[in-house]
Structure 1
Amino acid sequence: MPVDTKRVRGPDESQSPLVFLPPTAQTCEVLRRPGDRGKGDVRPLFARCGLVSQAKGSAYIEAGNTKIMCSVYGPRETERKDDTDMKSGRLVCDVRLAPFSCQKRGAWIQGSEERDLSLALSESMQPGVCLHRYPRSQIEVNVMVLENDGGVLAHAVTCASMALADAGIEMYDVVLGCALRQDGDSCLVDPDFSEERGSWQAGYGENQGRVTVALLPNFNQVSGLHADGEMREDTLTAAVRTCMDGCHKLYPVVQQAILRAVKRKAPPPEK
């Protein structure tokens, strides 16, 4: 039988490299969160406004390895005349996941997940925008997820709110988002991708799920609530309150980012 001399033949028997890892290394991902975060701690947030010069307003957010860019255009005339509202404007939200943002490479064509995120973002942002001030016009919010490491919808809400504020769109209040992963009697605030998907426990069971809350912090009112899984009523109520506390933790960072953007756009003082 002829032998392929160009191919390097492997050993006849092999073992998984996980066998040679120390016991602590095999269980560290389950017992400890990245960055030594507590269960109720949010990830450190980096926020900046006014990075896209061609847009009316823009914002960029980094929360751990989750990176999101948002651009706002308008108000402009509504493209579809049949959707024109004589008394109120329209808020059009479009969320796109970059093909390189996820572990599995995606396509440029908008999929079902992106359409669901766009609809959820629009529903969460509308209560915070004074649409009655822009009749017969539309405001376009374009969100690009550069890297998805969990909490995309929650951080997209915060990023879109900052971009709208940077564009000078009148708002009742900024809208902040926070996510939570429930597992039995314990919960993880602002989960990363592995925690959000529940890699340490496959699937959903009793009293397990995910919750995303959009909050108007000054009014302490919830503008959007998205939950999936199976959770008891008391557990869901506690999860919403925990997410509201997480939104209040993010508020000073967002406030300072918007304030810096306003100072940069302010005219120089007269001498």
Structure 2
Amino acid sequence: MRVADFNFDLPDELIARYPKPERTASRLLQLNGENGEIFHRTFADVLDLIQPGDLVVFNNTRVIPARMFGRKTSGGKLEVLVERVLSESRFLAHVRSSKAPKAGAELILGEDKLGEGNGVKAIMLGRQDSLFEIEIAEKQTALFDVLQQIGHMPLPPYIDRPDEEADQERYQTVYNKVPGAVAAPTAGLHFDDELLAKLKEKGVNFAFVTLHVGAGTFQPVRVENIEDHVMHAEYVEVPQSVCDAILTTKQAGKRVIAVGTTSVRSIESAALAAEEKQSAVLIEPYFSDTSILFTQAKSSASWIV
């Protein structure tokens, strides 16, 4: 597949900088896969499209306030975007600076773009390809505590505005549970508690996977052939309970509906792993990294985007 095959015009005025007051009021495009017919709906109509006995698979990752501003003690401002948490105090990150910091460099994180604010000391340990390994230098200080204190919500680059206090809640799904993502699984943002309750009442079943979305999801594609595009892997958890629910749903002739591409990648990763092991079942538990790019589906899941 060539990148040119996916070119389309997206007027700047159609990119929403702020969400609608009601999550379910967003627009929804429905495509009939059999005849190509298209319907324009609102997201609340999902209640009519998902049937009793169907299984909806959600990604329950929680977005962390992963963007920090600061400076090198030797001089020079920098911006740090956490990509992956390695331990309580160590993490991999993208670093924007006029000059890349070297191993051993001391950083002060938490100062704003004007150089003001209370800073937290950190040490640059080294590089792993395009990412930097950094460690919080202050003892008894955990990374998640630091992020809650000085971190900013990592809004996508196309939003093109500074993060605000309201983003702490609106740039999260209502069912988020496991901290670790640096970007939201955006398809899930349109579900609210009322819609979830109505789906449950209708007899729709739920399952939850975890995929910590990385900043690589926004990485530009610089190759002509999509299959040549290399992106950072993301951590995925597909527990036994999810596998059992998927198998039960398929055996009953019902649909497995994955909410967004992150849930699709989670299910596909587990299905591919089972296939590679020549397993007797369609899907097995999966707790590992996954490629962000899939070009061929294995699990026959439908999904909402």
Q: Same fold (TM over 0.5)?
A: no
TM interval, short-chain normalised: under 0.3
Higher helix share: 1
